[in-house]
A = this chain, B = another copy of it.
Amino acid sequence: METRTKPRPDAPDQGASRIERLCIEQGLKMTGQRRLIARVLSEAEDHPDVEDVYRRALALDNKVSIATVYRTVRLLEEKGILERRDFGGGRARYDPADRGQHHHLIDVDTGKVIEFADEEFEALARAMARRLGFSLVGQRLELFGRKIDPDPTPSPAPRRREARDA
């Protein structure tokens, strides 16, 4: 198992962003707003919710409405460019699908999310599905853990509503 190498951020705003290229491949009409949202998503190294995407987009260029962000992430999800996640907290989070198959370990004390991949798990998942009579078309694995602590510090009070991203 190796922790994932994150895709290096795109070269500073020249040319199409990583996600924009995927949109074009899918034959999507590229408006200014879509390009903007694509760029925000390409540069994100966390798992932003719609609000996050909206705020970051506005920070780059004040020309997008929240409704468009909702419509766009939904479209990108349908095209397989984004994956919707739910780490609790009531909002959907989004994760670019081109980062490759990976899973999440959520630190229950801090809410931090760590991504990782594991070939042994991939194989096991396929095997489990097959044993139930299915072929695997997708999967979702989240581990919740507590740091094995070399330096025991009083842990902060637990949140009521699960993880908040790093």
Q: Interface on A for B, CB 8 Å cutoff?
A: 1, 3, 84, 86, 88, 105, 107-108, 114, 116, 118, 120-121, 124-125, 128-148
Contacts and interface: CB of A to CB of B under 8 A. Distances in A.
A78 to B, nearest CB: 8
A153 B88 CA distance: 37
A148 B130 contact: yes
Copy total for this chain = 2
Contact of A138 (B1, B86, B128, B144): B144
Given A108-B138, A121-B124, A140-B141, A133 B146 contact: no
A52 B129 CA distance: 28
Contact of A132 (B116, B124, B131, B141): B116
The 8 residue pairs across chains A and B that have the minimum distance between CB atoms: A134-B145, A138-B144, A86-B86, A140-B142, A129-B145, A139-B143, A129-B143, A137-B144
Given A1-B128, A140-B142, A144-B139, A134 B121 contact: no
